[in-house]
Amino acid sequence: MSPRAKRAAIKSPGRPSILATRKSQPLATTNGTGAAGQRLEVRKTYKLYIGGAFPRTESGRAYEVLGAKGELLANACRGTRKDIRDAVRAARTALPDWSARTGFNRSQILYRIAELMEGRRDQFVGEVMAAEGVARQRATRLTDAAIDRWVWYAGWADKFSQVTGSVNPVNGSYFNFSVPEPTGVVGVIAPEASSLLGLVSRLAPVIVSGNCAVVLASESRPLPAVTLTEVLATSDVPGGVVNLITGLRRELVLHLAGHMDVNALDAYGLDPAQGVAVEELATENVKRLVRPPTKGADAVDWLSPNAQSPYLIGEFVETKTVWHPIGS
Amino acid sequence: MTLVKKPETRPAAASWGLSKRGTPWEYAAAPEATDHIEIRREYGLFIDNAFAPSRPKATFQVINPATEELLSRVAKASRADVNRAVTAARRAHDTVWSRLPGSERAKYLYRIARIMQERSREFAVVETMNSGKPIKESRDVDVPLAAAHFFYYAGWADKLDYAFPGRTPRSLGVAAQIIPWNFPLLMLAWKIAPALAAGNTVILKPASTTPLTAYLFADVVRQAELPPGVVNIITGPGEIGMELVRHPDVNKVAFTGSTAVGKMIGRAVAGSRKKLTLELGGKAANIVFDDAPLDQAIEGIINGIYFNQGEVCCAGSRLFVQESVYEPLLDKLKARLSTLRVGDPLDKNTDVGAINSAGQLAKIAELVQSGIEEGAEIFQPDCVLPDKGFFFRPTLFTGVSQSHRIAQEEIFGPVLSVLTFRTPEEAIEKANNTPYGLSAGVWTEKGSRIFKMVAAMKAGVVWANTFNRFDPTSPFGGYKESGYGREGGIHGLGAYLDLSSNRASGR
């Protein structure tokens, strides 16, 4: 766990909230009736995203999410095993429809995500600045790259199987071909540090081929991920295709890794030190597994072109080979 | 719908009398000669191109499952032997094999393929003596396919740059490969050929009951003059396989075998950076619609489950028959089953040979007993089994329900469970209702239905109007708990390469 995540975990429950003392931003308009003559900011409730709806965690618990300077940004849902269970069920339910969509249709929907993110670009820049403590210029680059990444993967939806499928010239009178199919329900452990671009870089290649995802957001920087789900909910992405749980990694990763109805696990964003227990659990139902990079996902340059690849799509597909005799 | 009348007593074809001694139509024995083959009394471990006893020296027996006679004694590897093999493979990888031009690796592999073709009868006979499979299968399927795998992957060795767009493929290093006893030589070829083409070196551990064709292959390695350490073969119990898997200097693990052992291997590599492919168990559905060409389907069903005594991970062990053709199909199936010749695997007329081991025979018998106890109806042809050896009658069960153990568990024997369905949706639901997902079969003359069914099957290989076909160019491997990764074709090549680095020019 990163120091920031630890801090968030320690401070989480029971501590008196400083929400009441947080100063709201001064606004140009004067309609408000705040104490100092300023309009009181309307804050957002950050919720989970399950089956296309925005429930709170079933546990009713929350934890404080802090900004780079230790200031309170919001309370986030402290999700549970039962939230994961509900999310997996929603993903499984959404799978037949999403995986049966044509590549053209999925391509349009992923492009639509980019369109809607573009419209909320300033909001994402602000959230990334607050979450990651980076300057506006850097946050803008990260946000733009996240939007462009959706566009890049959108284009793969109807091309991937042409690159990875094959017609196999068998030694006999048979027509034989291989096509990629989505693996099914994929657990995604999002990178801890890269709150938006890291998440998009791991999520897009999972759903572009027709998988449905259950995402564990960054523990210490979950807010941009939650805002992303609000984009997904209005981007023609069917409910249940992406489900997002926020909360404490130590309470969640093992349940996701051990869930018997999850077919694959992208543990790329996991702290490598936590890898062994996760991998062992993932083996229980022979999950396809992507391990964290040696130095951890936090060391990855997410702006690099290496962070996007059709080979990543290939981690979460199954090759199906079909034989048929040739005759009269 | 006119139903074929059920025969009064035994299926008509049984009057051919193929399976009963003393009838006028009895086949004369046609045993394959064994005088041209030499099985050594003892085999050491094959490390660095030399046979040497294990240290400390220990051996175990290898028998012929059809006669229970001793064939040879082979070395039982120790942890120290595993270390020696890995050291040899590492040295060969780092200093020789990965540095060879791909075109030179290709020529070595072509040599191997050619030598296997030249010595094909020898391989077939030894394979049949050691595994119990019929000579007509080892001669016509196992050995030619094994040679073809080397021939196919040989050609990839110098074309890797064209296989994976935007990547610079590199070898992984040392590959630990553990294979089962049902296709000893063919699984060796599936493992070693792509590994060597990709520039890796290997340590192969054959199953402890069937190491002889692997050690015969070691002699091919010698004849082909492969550099020492490129191919190493060690034998021993399962624990030695796990030692090999856990060895820190192994970069790639490839396993074919049971799902239970596959999970153990998955846990053993947890936390390491080893690349893993698993080809595990199956419980394939073979679905016959009422418009299927029934006589063809019968042959496909028979081939699907009685090929290699049913000891096949992709065997079509669950037959789903559309209700409207259930009775005529079942009559034909029973008749055909009664013509299968069970017996001496070396006899060229034998269809069903010996079960590989006493342990496996006991497992089959136990599961068949559970089928009877759970209320399914058993049918076995009235054939005479040899006095010695591990034989089991080809068996089919009717009245099987989804919850029966014989419909759920992999039997790995000549046992077919017959179930019925009414609609395509019901067939899909039942066929996919298993943790496995290796293969499936569909029989129908309607093209659009074939594609609907093929798309709906959660299985890595789907045979439509055929079954149990294999080819080096054709990727093979499972969905769900049948494993991950593919063997065969360009997909099987990728499993033995590090594709993490981008080409400078591309993305």
For residue A213, give both structure tokens.
């995802």
CB contact under 8 A, A178 and B491: yes
Residue B26: predicted pLDDT: 74
Query: Which of A162, A283, A306, A313 to mutate to test binding with chain B, by most B CBs within 10 Å of its CB?
Result: A283
Nearest residue, CB atoms, B486 vs list A280, A291, A319: A319
Q: Residue B506: inside a domain, yes or no?
A: no
Q: Same domain for B434 and B338?
A: yes
Q: What is the pLDDT of residue A37?
A: 77
* Full set of structural domains in chain A with CATH: 81-325 (3.40.605.10)
DSSP secondary structure letters along B38-53: ---SEE-EEETTEEE-
What pLDDT, in 10s, does the model give residues A42-51?
A: 999 999 999 9
CA-nearest residue of chain A to B277?
A288
Asked if residue B365 and residue B269 are part of one domain, the reply reads no
Query: At residue B4, does pLDDT exceed 50?
Result: no
- In this predicted structure, the answer to whether residue B2 has a pLDDT above a threshold of 80 is no
Query: Is residue B445 a part of any domain in this protein?
Result: yes
Contact B464 A168 (CB under 8 A): no
Nearest by CB: A279 against B262, B271, B457: B271
The arithmetic mean of pLDDT across residues B376-395, rounded, is 96
Predicted local distance difference test score (pLDDT) of residue A278: 96
What is the total count of domains within chain B?
2
Write the ipTM: 0.94
Contacts of A268 in chain B (CB under 8 A): none
CATH code, domain with B221: 3.40.605.10
Is A170–B481 a contact, with Cβ atoms under 8 angstroms apart? no
Q: Nearest CA of chain B to the CA of A194: how many Å?
A: 21
Same domain? B460 vs B320: yes
Q: Are B110 and B58 members of one domain?
A: yes
Please write the tens of the pLDDT for every residue from B225-258.
999 999 999 999 999 999 999 999 999 999 999 9
Residue B36 lies in a domain: no
Tell me, yes or no, whether B293 and B367 share the same domain. yes
**Range of B192's domain?**
42-280+482-498
Task: Identify whether B305 is part of a domain.
Answer: yes
Give the nearest chain B residue to A166 (CA atoms). Answer: B490
Residue among A288, A308, A309 whose CB faces B484 most closely: A288
B263 and A291 in contact by Cβ < 8 A?
A: no
Single out the catalytic residue among B32, B279, B311, B481. B279
- Residues B239, B326, single domain; the answer is no
Indicate whether B28 belongs to any domain: no
Q: What is the mean pLDDT of chain A?
A: 91
Residues of B in contact with A323 (CB under 8 A): 461-464, 466, 469, 474
- Told to judge if B481 belongs to the known catalytic residues of this protein, a careful annotator would answer no
Catalytic choice (B137, B313, B314, B487): B313
Q: What whole-number percentage of chain B has pLDDT above 70?
A: 94
Question: Which residue from B397, B460, B378, B417 is spatially nearest to B286, judged by alpha carbons?
Answer: B417
> Are B461 and A320 within 8 A, CB to CB?
yes
- Residue B14 inside a domain? The answer is no
User: Do B332 and B442 sit in the same domain of this protein?
Assistant: yes
B109 and B197 in a common domain: yes
Q: How confident is the model at residue B1 (pLDDT cuts 50, 70, 90)?
A: very low
Same structural domain for residues B100 and B118? yes
CATH number, domain of B433, equals: 3.40.309.10
In a domain, B246, yes or no: yes
> How far apart (Å, rounded) are the C-alpha atoms in residues B278 and A259?
20
Phi, psi of B208 (to 5 degrees): -70, -20
Q: Would you call B480 and A306 a contact, using CB atoms and an 8 Å cutoff? A: no
Do B259 and B331 lie in a common domain?
Answer: no
The reply to whether residue B263 touches residue A286, judged by beta carbons under 8 angstroms, is yes
Phi then psi dihedrals of residue B100, to 5 deg: -65, 145
Are B237 and B326 contained in the same domain? no
- pTM listed for this prediction: 0.92
Residue B473, pLDDT score: 98
Residue B251 Cα, gap to closest chain A Cα (Å): 15
pLDDT of residue A223: 98
Taking 70 as the pLDDT cut, the residues of chain A under it are 1-36, 328
Whether B383 sits among the annotated catalytic residues: the reply is no
Report pLDDT for B506.
Answer: 38
Same domain? For B258 and B320 the reply is no
- Asked whether residue B404 is assigned to any structural domain, the reply reads yes
